[in-house]
Each structure stands twice: as C-alpha cells, then as structure tokens.
Copies of this chain bind each other. A is one copy, B any other.
Amino acid sequence: MSDVRVVLDSRFTIGEVDRRLFGSFVEHMGRCVYGGIYEPGDPLADETGVRKDVLALTEELGVTAVRYPGGNFVSNYRWEDGVGPREHRPVRRDLAWRSIETNQFGLDEFVDWARRAHVEPMMAINLGTRGVAEALDLLEYANSAPGTALADLRVAHGHRDPHDVRLWCLGNEMDGPWQMGHKTADEYGRLAQETGRAMKRLDPTVELVACGSSNAEMPTFGSWEATVLRHCYDVVDYVSLHAYYEPHDDDVRSFLASGASMDRFIDGVVATADHVRVAQKHSKRINLSFDEWNVWYQGDFPGEDALDWEVAPRLIENAFTVTDAVVVGGLLISLLNHSDRVSMACQAQLVNIIAPIRAESGRPAWRQTVFHPFAGTAANARGTALRAAVEAPTTVTAEHGTVPVVDVAATTTGDGRSAVFLVNRRPDEPISVELELAHLGAIAAAEHTVISDADPQARNTVDEPDRVVPTTREVTRLDAGRLAVTLPPASWNMITVTHGK
C-alpha cells in the first residue's frame, strides 16, 4: 500500500502547456548581461563578445523566451542609448541598481543573441520616465519594415529585417514605490491603455503584458490589478505576476511547500481578471504572465541605496542548494497546474543573478542546482497538462497551513509520451507513490529522475560544478497501467513514460 496514489486520465485536462512557460529573464543588472551572456575578451566569448559557454547552457536549459532589458532597470532606460555604433553610445547612471551602464550591449545585440539561443525575445518598455511617443519609437525601430525613419535607423545599424518582437511588457512593477516613475493604479492603467492602444495600431501582431502587483504582499495587491484592468482590459493580453520565495526562520517544511503560495497568488489574479471581465462584459480572457519567479534569499541584498555606481557589480549571485532546486521544481509544478491561465513565465534571472547558470571570467560556466529541475521540466512537460487526481496525506506548515505531502503535475502528448512531476514536501521522510496511468495508454517504458541529496545544502560551484546532478531511481511496474516509485525526502522527481499500443 503506497502513501500516495495518483490517477491520470487524458480526458481530465487543464490546458495546453504553452512553451513560453519556460521563459527566463536577462536584465541589465549586476553580471547578468556584462560578464554573463556577454563578456568580450573572455576566452569563452566569440568575436561578438557573446559567451559561447553561457549560450550553450541556455540552449541546454531549454529556455523558450527571455524577457529583456528589465526589471527595474527599464524604468529609467533610454533604448536608443543602446543602439548604433558602440563608440557613440553614452555611459549612463542606472538608478534602479545605482550602477554604471556602458550601453555596449543593447536591443540589437540582445535580439541577435536570442536568435542564436533559439529563444523568443520579450521586451519591456520604459513607462517610468517615458511615455507613449518613446514606446512607439522603440516599437518602430524593432518591428517596422524599412522605409520610415526609425526602421531605417535599424537598417543602418545592420539589421535589415525587422526584429519581429511579439511580446511586450508595458513597464515593470509600476505599483512598487521603489520603481522610478512609480504610478498609482489609475495613472498606470491610463498610461497602459494609451500606450498599448497606440502600439497595437502600429503593430497589431504584438501581445501586451500589463503590470500586475510586484508581489502578493503589496498593500495594493488585488485592487491594483482590478483598477489597472478596468482601464486597459481591451488593449492588453496578459497581466503580470512576480514572486520570489525563500525560507523564513529556517522553516524548511514551509519552504518546500512554496508552490502552495504560488497557487494562491495565481488563483487570486485569475479571480481579479475574471471579475473585471464579467463586470465590464468582455468576452476575451486576460491570461497571466508570471514573468519573474524564483527562489531568492532577499536578506542577502543590501538594498539599492547601498549600491555605489559600479559597472556590472556582483549582485545577488546566490549559490543554490539542493533544497532550492526542489522548491524551483515545485514552482514549475504550480505553473503547469495553471496551464489554462498562465501563458508564460520567466525564471529570474538567466545568468549569475539568482540564476540557473553561473559564469566567472576565464572559467567555464556551470549549472546551479536549480538548472536541473528547470531543464527537466522544460524538456518533458509537453502537450497537455492533466488534472491529476491525488490521494495523499497532508502535512501542516506554518506558512501555508495544511498541504498535501506531495505536489504533482502531469503532462501528456498526442504521440504517446507522458511526464509526471512530483515534489516530496517532507524534509525527512520518503514517500511511496502509486501512479495509475492506464487511461493514458499502456506503459512501454518509464524512467524516474530525481534531485535530492543526503546533504540538502549541497551546491555546485565553479570548482565542483557537478556536485549536484539528477540521478535516476528504480520504477516498479505494477501492471500495464500502474507504476510505483519512491520519492526521497525533500526531493524533486520526474517520471517520464513512453506508451505503447
């Protein structure tokens, strides 16, 4: 008799898994751009300054879309500083991170990099210190066919073809008093409406993300989304969510159940968006862009005011533990379980800044622990997300109340491949799980991949880059439609199944 029983049935679905769910984020912050994806002169960089090792790991990670150039950075950024001949680009003071921005990397370089990394670029515009006119200039530069002034400027800069950027964030965290040009919900809603409408007039193919709350603990959470959407429901396609998770008071049990918090956040934003839909009699649904999420030990960050005008300073370069990786895997499970409404998500950030990939000058880039659950999920969570029927004991957590001891998500494709993702939220006990997959088709083969470790604090470092890697475990085949597996304590687990006739 297993502790947990999971029943999957291809007729009980949540929604298609949008590939954009496996997005990441490159901000001009710390060493994410400079010394991260781009480090001219480094032995591992090519002649364009792109670090080939970081690029290769980005592809291996399975990232599908990358948000750029911020984050807080964008709210005082002038995009035109970052295009054109490098010797003419101005050096600026970025107020978001009190850093010196050399502008040697900008829009054109990012799009080139994104094409090489096979990721979709997702651009954010500055709605802090700028408005509609500047947004239109940027969009014309990025997306318009040659023949008008700003498109021709792009051509003159060596990019004849439009960049064809589809995804645009209407500012970043405009609800946050820390944001340059922070807005009230009414101010931002009006600005988003007018900017969005003008952008779609210029390029009807763009998809627009309105800023939701910077996190679920903002005093304006909920009312912000409602007011903003009341103003701009018609012109936007998505509303954003940002959330970072960390253990409080060493409460690992709560930390391992962080997905419960993400679930609640998503449910709240869905409810608010649908409330506006109903109240304003719209037929269109606003879906969610969870465009900043991750584990982040925020106590390590000294605050913006403590930063002191360096170029690419070393900021929040956390070395993630095994436990962090398990939590990241759990957050991905939460996203999968909201595939009906969450259309995209960006782990923040890609390199160096609380990132799956780390890079140091002159040394090969390496995979942090959190790289592995992301890569595994991105590779295998394909097709349709299933509504899993889970019978499981519960556990009581200080932060999230009573939650099941396992977190489960599952996907299945049309061509006979399924995947089940499970987190064992118990820090100290294994869990036995029986998977009933008969309704997905007969099981031809199954594999169980695990992230867990006797030392949950184990990390990968530049000197020991593979200290933590996924391992495989035995899968017991109970019959043609049933498997049994055991989840180690505090573990992330992926069961990939191939179905036969």
Contacts and interface: CB of A to CB of B under 8 A. Distances in A.
Interface stretch (A144-152, A163-171, A381-389): A144-152
Given A201-B98, A201-B304, A132 B194 contact: no
A98 B145 CA distance: 13
A190 B186 CA distance: 12
A182 interface: yes
Nearest to A89: B149
Contact of A180 (B76, B152, B181, B201): B201
Contacts of A136: 76, 95, 129
A132 B201 contact: no
Contact of A140 (B93, B147, B177, B194): B93
A364 interface: no
A133 interface: yes
A131 interface: yes
A129 B131 contact: yes
Contact of A305 (B90, B129, B198, B201): B201
A91 B181 contact: no
Interface string A41-80: 0000000000000000000000000000000000010000
Contacts of A93: 140, 144, 148, 202
Nearest to A130: B133
B132 A129 contact: yes
How often does this chain occur in the complex, in copies? 3
A100 interface: yes
Contacts of A182: 194, 197
Interface in A133-164: 133, 136, 140, 144-145, 147-149, 152
A149 to B, nearest CB: 4
A92 interface: yes
A111 to B, nearest CB: 20
A200 to B, nearest CB: 9
A207 to B, nearest CB: 16
A327 B425 CA distance: 78
Interface of A: 76, 90-93, 95, 98, 100, 128-133, 136, 140, 144-145, 147-149, 152, 177, 180-182, 184, 187, 190, 194, 197-198, 201-202, 204, 304-305, 309
Q: Would you list the 3 A-B pairs with minimal beta carbon distance, nearest first?
A: A90-B149, A129-B133, A95-B201
22 contacts: A90-B148, A90-B149, A91-B152, A92-B148, A92-B149, A93-B140, A93-B148, A93-B202, A95-B198, A95-B202, A100-B147, A129-B131, A129-B132, A129-B133, A129-B136, A130-B133, A132-B181, A180-B194, A180-B197, A180-B198, A181-B194, A184-B190
